[in-house]
Amino acid sequence: MVRGIWHEEVDLIVVGGSVGGLAAAVIAADKGCRTIIVERGKELGGGAANDGEAIAAPGTRFQEAAGISDACDRLVGDMLAGGQVDADLARAVAEQGAPVVAWLADRCGVPITLLPGAARGHSVARLHSPGERGGARLIAELVRAATRHARVSVRSGAPVERIVRDESGAVRGVGVRGDRRGAVQALGGRVLLASGGFAADDALVREHCGAVGELPYAGGPGATGDTLRLAGDVGAATRNLGSCLVTPFLATPSHLVVAAPLLDLGAVLVNQTGRRFADGGDLATSVRAQPGHVGYLLFDERVAAAARAADPFFAHVVLPRAGRRGATLEDLAKQLELNAEGLHATADSMTRVEPPWHAIRVTGARWRTLGGLAVDAAARVLNAEGAPIPNLYATGGAAAALGVLPGMDALASLAFARIAALAVARHLAAEDEG
C-alpha cells in the first residue's frame, strides 16, 4: 500500500467493535496483519449482547454429529426462496458458514451447540447457538481474543470523522477524533466498516422507512447511521434502505427481544384487561395500540418447557429476566396488575394448559434496519456504478442484509468479516513479496 503521513499506520482499520468487527480484527491479526479497532462508544460488541445471536451455517461438524445432512446449495436455496437476495452474495456467505462456526469453537472457545429443529424458513436444523448467554457469550470470547492479541489495538470513545482517499479514489485511512481537545488523528490502512445500521436514528428511519419511525427502538446504541454518512462521502452505493425489521415482542423493562416462537407453541397475547387481542397481521402496531402501549405474552408451563428446549437464550436469559411466574392466574394478575377475570376467560379458550402460568410484558419496537451499503461477494463496498471502492470493505449492520431468515444476520456479519480479513491478509502477503 502507498504510505502517507499518518499518526499511525496499520494493515487494517476496523470501524466499529461489533461482532463482525471483532472477528475480522482477530482473523486478520492471526494472519499477520496489524489491526486497529476504532469504536465510538465505550463498550465493544454492538447490540449483540441482548440477542441470542444464533448462526445459520450449513455443512458443519455439529450437524454431522447430529446426523443432519446439509450443504451450501441448500441454504442458498432457502435464502432465495425467502425473498429478494442476490445469488452471488448468498453463496459467498453460505460458503463461510462451516469455517466460521469451526473458527468460533476452536480459535475463540465459543461453546457452539446445534439448536433442534428447522427454524422458520430453513429446510433443516442449522442454527448454531453460541451458548446459553447468546450474544453476550459471543462478545465476551471475541473481545478476549481481540484484546489479548499482540497485533490488535482498540480505541474506544473514538468516533471516525471521515474516510481518507488518495488522488486515484482508493481508500487510504480514516480521520479519528479521540482526545479531549477534539484533535483529529489520521490512521492509515485498509478500512472495514463494521458499525451498526441506522435503526437508532429517528430522522433517518422516518426518511427511509416511513411509519416505522414512530415505533421505539429496541437495539444497541451504535446504530446511528454514521456509516451511511462516512461511506456516502466517498461515493458508496446503498441497497434496500426502506427495509426495517420490527418486533411486537420487545420485553419491558428488560429491553430483550423475545425471539422464541411462543405464539407457535401455544402462547396468546392479552392486554391489561386480560383479554386476547391479536392473532396475526401487524402485531407490532397492534401491541402499541393497546392501553399503555403494551401487551402480555401469556403461556403455561407446557409452552415454557418447549420454548426452553428450543432456545437456550430464552431459557437462561429472556425468561428469568423478563418473565413473571404465578402458580395461579390470580397470582399472575396481581404481579402484572392485570384483570384476573379477563385472564380466566382467556385461559378457558386455551387447550391442554399446565400450570404454573407465565407472562412477559412486551411492546412493539423497531429492531434493526435491513438496508445498508452495497457490497459484492468479496465484502467490498461498491460505488454508484457498481464498481468496488479500493481498500474499503463492510460487514454487519453497515452492509445491506441478506434477507430475514433466522440466523442469517449473524452469519452474514461473521462471513463478510472473514472474507474481508482474509483479503487484506492476501494483499499484505503480496506487498511483502513485491
Q: What is the DSSP string of 378-404?
A: T-EEEBTTSPEEEEEEE-GGGBPP---
Q: Give exposure, 169-188, as e/b (b: 16+ Cβ within 10 Å).
A: eebbbbbbbbeeeeeebbbb
* Measured distance CA(418)–CA(424) in Å, rounded: 10
Q: Supply angle C-alpha 73, 75, 79, rounded to 5.
A: 115
Would you report the helix, strand and coil content of the chain in percent, each value rounded to 5?
35, 25, 40
Read off the pLDDT of residues 341-393 as tens digits, 9 standing for 90 and up.
Answer: 999 999 999 888 999 999 999 999 998 899 999 999 999 999 999 999 999 99
322-346 average pLDDT score: 96
Reading the block at residue 327, the C-alpha cell is 402458580
Percent of the chain with pLDDT over 90: 85
Query: Can you list the domains of the chain with their CATH numbers?
Result: 8-242+370-433 (3.50.50.60), 245-366 (3.90.700.10)
Question: Which element (helix H / strand E) includes 55?
Answer: strand 55-56
Examine the pLDDT at 431 and tell me if it is beyond 80: yes
Examine the pLDDT at 180 and tell me if it is beyond 70: no
Looking at residue 210, what is its pLDDT?
87
Residue with the bigger pLDDT between 237 and 349: it is 237
Examine the pLDDT at 40 and tell me if it is beyond 80: yes
Examine the pLDDT at 103 and tell me if it is beyond 90: yes
Looking at residue 1, what is its pLDDT?
40
Most confident among 40-44, 46-50, 177-181, 329-333 (mean pLDDT): 329-333
Question: Which element (helix H / strand E) includes 140?
Answer: helix 135-147
